[in-house]
Amino acid sequence: MATATGIDELVAWRAQMDASLRADDGWLALAGLFWLDEGANTFGSGADCDLVFPEGTCPVLLGTFHRTGDEVRMELATGVEAAVDGRPVEGSVPLRHDDGGPGTPEIVTVGRLAFHVLVRGPRVGIRLRDHDSAVRAAFTGRAWFEPDPAAVVSARFERFPEGTTIPITNVLGDTEDNPSPGRVHFRLAGTDCSMDAVASGKQLFFIFRDRTNGDSTYGAGRFLYVPVPPGDTVTLDFNRAVSPPCAFTVHATCPLAPAQNHLPVAVEAGERHDGDHH
């Protein structure tokens, strides 16, 4: 059985996950995802802009994004006050995107809005957040299954050769090869299961589906992160399985579970979900 200390840690972790969702840079603040054409792309709240930001959140014309391949330069309209990573800017400035190395992406703030450049496969876009988002204000909290000691399992970690990758497809239909450090083998609900991990810093990242998806959990699947083990054994705590960002906003570009991560059991642990979006 789980100890009181273990339950307390789980409750604290779940509260932290809830807070991260509600944060200024959390998924609930998303207000738009706009794909850029090559060349000039005007943006602002005006209906004749190429990228139309939500009405009332900013001036009619904020400026123009100039895209060349995956490079983007922002040219602000006259009189627009903006900051990049907290530094006041004016005129024309280049913007690092979310796949551009350390310290990226650069965050542009204009009043209540914040946005940055992102790259997804062949697409280059602008992800927009509204700190006064009505969705964020109305959010009532994540929903969870009751903690289940049986959902904490020991797994054998099979390390893959250095450089191994697995293809991961996102909700846009783009497929990219992701570094995979290995596979876990475990028994859950009396059934032999396995999942391939995606590398995520010092963590193993599992994108998985199970037989609860579309019923009591989010239809596209869930995520689970665990520390990279020093040896060949790792603990999987499905009480910490979470819904992907797509469960909370239509403006996310979530990865989908590869076929080998479709579990043949119902994992009634971790985060619940009972609708298209909260």
Instruction: Supply the pLDDT for residue 103.
Output: 63
Task: Specify whether 64 is located in the same domain as 127.
Answer: yes
Task: Specify whether 110 is located in the same domain as 184.
Answer: no
In DSSP notation, 153-217 reads EEEEEEEPPTT-EEEEEBTTS-EEEEE--EEEEEEETTEEEEEE-EEETTEEEEEEB-TTBTTTB
* C-beta of residue 51 within 8 angstroms of C-beta of residue 41: yes
CATH number where 43 lies: 2.60.200.20
Domain end position, chosen among 117, 137, 157: 137
Give residue-wise pLDDT tens across range 101-131.
Answer: 556 799 999 999 999 999 998 999 999 999 9
Angle at 116 between CA 110 and CA 220, to 5 degrees: 125
Could you list the residue range(s) of the whole structural domain that residue 217 is in?
A: 142-261
Task: Specify whether 99 is located in the same domain as 200.
Answer: no
Give residue-wise pLDDT tens across range 73-106.
Answer: 999 999 999 999 999 999 999 999 987 555 679 9
Question: Is 5 a residue whose pLDDT tops 80?
Answer: no
Task: Specify whether 132 is located in the same domain as 147.
Answer: no
270 domain residue, yes or no:
no
As a whole number of angstroms, the distance between CA 144 and CA 82 comes to: 39
Among candidates 87, 28, 33, 94, which has minimal Cα distance to 67?
94
Strand partners, 158: 183
Among candidates 245, 242, 246, 272, which has minimal Cα distance to 144?
272
